[in-house]
Structure 1
């Protein structure tokens, strides 16, 4: 069906009718099986959920600190991160970081050229670079803060 153009692969083994307007809820549902209940889709994968575009090869899953990490899975990568309620959005039965939190994480954790492109797209969805930069000022030390400040300053 893929070769015939009847369906298009969304992620992994999940396909949708070709030409269908795919929503963030649909993209999140496509990866739901690799996201544990305590996990939240974040970073580059959250940017894909919000923006669309090429699907990630692995899903970035964030879990709260000092809890049990996710079991190893070839379809996901996991990291510990604080996940306050205001940074998390539930779509269907799965959670994803908000556009604002996603932009902040993208600025910190992705290579600068990739992050810059994604941040421009997230701005179209309501990402506020000034608010993100103010939030970075609250963070004392930490990986990726300098790059994030530079990227956000240029937006």
Structure 2
């Protein structure tokens, strides 16, 4: 069993996020004027960033913060969105921490919310979603920098994984598509 650093269980010290909410600018009407006028770029329906600010995983996590209850972890397609962007899936995919230290080591804090780490997210979507949907999300994560070989090792190290054969097929298909794309026409 790997030792767990106690500080990893705590949220990071709050950092000033560039996320702007309607309450920050005088209400929804003012917020919408700023978004329509081009001063703010919407991240989700109730959060935006000033134009010129990069929308990173930290910013996407902060945008979700009011929707994520204390003790919950963003997982599955919602975690893919936090890590990579794109269209936010609704409803949010959330799980409650079970109190096990294992889940804590498979997560990271992004923008004040706990999100499954990239490798765990790859395995989660590959084991739980239909092949084509999982493949699309795994490819998004890979294009965003996910290490599929490390995710495959993570999959094999876990005990009692429901969906392991399906996940192996998804990871193999993703590696094939990425290799074909790298080889070019």
2:88 is aligned with 1:55: yes
Aligned to 1:39: 72
What are the ranges of 5 or more consecutive residues in structure 1 without an aligned counterpart? 68-80
Using structure 2 for the length normalisation, give the TM-score. 0.64
2:149 is aligned with 1:130: yes
Give the direction of change, closer, same or farther, for the CA distance of 1:6–1:61 in structure 2 (3 Å limit): same
Aligned to 1:139: 159
Aligned to 1:106: 125
Give the direction of change, closer, same or farther, for the CA distance of 1:57–1:84 in structure 2 (3 Å limit): closer
Q: Greater share of strand residues, 1 or 2? A: 1
Using structure 1 for the length normalisation, give the TM-score. 0.75
2:144 is aligned with 1:119: no
Bigger Cα Rg: 2
Q: Is residue 40–residue 97 contact of structure 1 (8 Å, CA) maintained in 2?
A: yes
State the Cα distance separating 1:132 from its structure 2 match.
2.7
**Matches of 1:141 and 1:114, distance apart in 2:** 19
Give the direction of change, closer, same or farther, for the CA distance of 1:4–1:111 in structure 2 (3 Å limit): farther
User: Aligned Cα RMSD in Å?
Assistant: 2.4
Give the direction of change, closer, same or farther, for the CA distance of 1:88–1:6 in structure 2 (3 Å limit): same
